[in-house]
Amino acid sequence: MLITSTIIATLGLLVDSPAVVIGAMIVAPLMNPILSCAFGISTSDGILIQRSLVTILLGSATVMLLAWALDEAVPTTILSQEIIARTTPNIVDLGIALAAGAAGAFSLTRPKIANSIAGVAIAVALVPPLCVAGIGLGLHDDIGVSVETAVPIGIGNQVTTGALLLFCANLIGITVAASLVFLWQRYGHWRRAGVSLVSLGLLLAVVSGPLSGAMGEFILEKRIDSQIAKLWERYPHYREVIQLKNLSVQTNSKGVKVDFQLYAPSSLLDDQILDQLHGELSQVLEKSGLGTVTTTIRHVPTEVRSYRSTLAP
């Protein structure tokens, strides 16, 4: 089942099909050993914990290697939206994992709602991030990105690192929440599971750091999107024919880098408008103490044609 779900997920990622990737989530059996590990933690069953961890590690390695092999057989030339979406996790993904872990554990303690586990598998992704990590192992610097996707993203190692971070967040979040639910349902004892819970708490804190940083970039993207929308309000005739696409924000110790595309007729976007747009964005971001603001605007020229026809009564 794990092999078939990996094949489905990897091919779905390569052809950018959300429906196929969702189908792979339902087929994937990785949720079971994670919940078993959580149950072992709550009941202080060391053997169950060890067997579950070995299953998780072997299963994860199998998925990554098979995804890498499939990517080598069907070489990736453009990163799809489905791939890119799993390379930039944030703290929201950890919240989803915690909620999914609680739901999964609770459904196991209530036979009447055991069917809910399929919904949990869809809500939190386990196999797709591992497939993206495997795909990232074979990526090269000359790989492009689709016009519909975010433009500047990491290639190769950065893709693998981002996907593995998402998987680790899901793994730790599910395990923590499921362990707490099992203990709440009186499977095991709080005191005997204390050491394991403290260890999980530390892991949760470690993974929350980079996820919180990504969340900051996500919030910045929303602020920039809002600022651009306000600018277009002063130019309503622009708003009708100009589209903002692929907004990306990257922060570092030196400042913030903003990158986006504007689809607009060549006659509308002159240097004055673009300079004004960069100036307003810089003012907003510099007030936040983010340092130097670097804005890259990619202008994609378009042609707008309007047609009107009168229908006979």
| 49 against 235, higher pLDDT | 49
Which amino acid is it at 233? Answer: E
* CB of 114 closer than 8 Å to CB of 104: no
Mean pLDDT of 27-48: 89
Q: What is the pLDDT of residue 237?
A: 64
Which of 57-61, 81-85, 151-155 has the weakest average pLDDT?
A: 151-155
Average pLDDT over residues 113-126: 67
Mean pLDDT of 245-269: 72
Q: Which residue has the higher pLDDT, 263 or 249?
A: 263
Q: List all residues 6 or more positions away from 251 whose beta carbon is below 8 Å from its beta carbon.
A: 213, 216, 217, 220, 257, 290
Annotate the chain with DSSP letters as a single string.
-HHHHHHHHHHHHHTT-HHHHHHHHHH--THHHHHHHHHHHHHT-HHHHHHHHHHHHHHHHHHHHHHHHHHHHS--SEE-HHHHTTSS--HHHHHHHHHHHHHHHHHHH-GGGGGGHHHHHHHS-SHHHHHHHHHHHT--TT-EE-TTS-SS---THHHHHHHHHHHHHHHHHHHHHHHHHHHHTTSS-TTTTHHHHHHHHHHHHHHHHHHHHHHHHHHHHHHHHHHHHHHHHT-HHHHTT-EEEEEEEEE-SSEEEEEEEEEE-TTT--HHHHHHHHHHHHHHHHTTT--EEEEEEEEEE------------
* Tens-digit pLDDT profile for residues 167-197: 999 999 999 999 999 989 888 888 888 888 8
As a whole number of angstroms, the distance between CA 241 and CA 220 comes to: 25
pLDDT at 48 over 90: yes
Distance in angstroms (rounded) separating the CA atoms of residues 25 and 46: 29
pLDDT at 150 over 50: no
Q: Which residue has the higher pLDDT, 289 or 249?
A: 249
pLDDT at position 284 is 65
With beta carbons less than 8 A apart as the criterion, state whether 149 and 84 touch: yes
Tell me how far the alpha carbon of residue 177 is from its chain's centroid.
Answer: 20
pLDDT reading at 141 higher than 60: no
Cβ-based neighbours of 246, under 8 Å, separated by 6 or more: 148, 149, 150, 151, 259, 260, 261
What does the alpha-carbon distance between residue 56 and residue 240 come to, in Å, rounded to a whole number?
A: 51
Tell me: pLDDT of 98 over 80: yes
Q: Compute the average pLDDT of residues 143-166.
A: 62
Q: Is the pLDDT of residue 129 over 80?
A: yes
Domain architecture of the chain: domains with CATH = 2-192 (no CATH), 218-301 (3.30.300.20)
Quick check: 146 pLDDT over 50?
no
**Predicted local distance difference test score (pLDDT) of residue 154:** 44
**What does the pLDDT look like over 224-245, one tens digit per residue?**
667 666 666 666 666 666 777 7
Angstrom distance (rounded) from CA 176 to CA 153: 31
Lowest average pLDDT, out of 58-72, 101-115, 274-288, goes to: 274-288
| End-to-end CA, the chain | 59
Note the pLDDT of residue 69: 92
Question: pLDDT-based confidence at 252, cuts 50/70/90?
Answer: low
User: Does residue 152 have a pLDDT over 50?
Assistant: no
Give the lowest-confidence range in 17-26, 147-156, 158-167, 175-184.
147-156
Q: What is the pTM of this model?
A: 0.72
Judged against a pLDDT cut of 80, whether residue 203 lies above it is answered with yes
Tell me the per-residue pLDDT of 72-95, one tens digit each, with 9 for 90 and over: 888 766 777 888 888 888 888 888
Q: What is the mean pLDDT of the chain?
A: 79
What is the tens place of the pLDDT at every residue in 261-289? 778 777 776 777 777 777 776 776 666 55
